[in-house]
Amino acid sequence: MTRITTHVLDTVSGDPAAGVAVTLFSDAGAGWHEVASAVTDDDGRVSTFPEVAAGRARLQFATGTPFFPEVLVTFVVEDGRAQLHVPLLLSAYGYSVYRGS
C-alpha cells in the first residue's frame, strides 16, 4: 500500500494554493473508484489521503481557474512504494506536475 500526498502552488503569486478541492481515485484492476477527497490546507497541501494499492491512481484538482477549471493527473503507483508525492504548479493559463520526494 502507498500513501499519496500532494501540494498545490500558485506560480503567479508564488504562494501555496489553499482551499483547492482534490479527489483521489484508484484503479487496481477493477475500474476507477473514488478513494477520498480533501481540500488543500493553508500551506496548499493534502496529507490525509488513505493508502492505495499498486495500480493506476488519479488526482482531480478543482482549480476553479477560468481556463483550466479542473486538472486530472493520472499516474502509476508501483508495488512496494511507501509514499508518493504529486505536486501541482498552477497558473491561470498553464500547469505542470511532477513526482516529488
Predicted confidence (pLDDT) per residue in 49-66, tens digit: 999 999 999 999 999 988
Provide the 10 A C-beta neighbour count for residue 61: 24
pLDDT at residue 48 is higher than 80: yes
Classify residue 100 by its DSSP letter: B
Residue 97: per-residue pLDDT: 97
- Cβ atoms of 72 and 59 closer than 8 Å: yes
Give me the CATH number covering residue 26: 2.60.40.180
Q: Each residue of 70-92: pLDDT tens digit? A: 999 999 999 888 899 999 999 99
Mean pLDDT within 7-32? 95
- CA count, 13 A, side-chain hemisphere, 18: 4
**pTM of the predicted structure, to 2 decimals:** 0.94
pLDDT at residue 14 is higher than 80: yes
How many independent structural domains does the chain possess?
Answer: 1
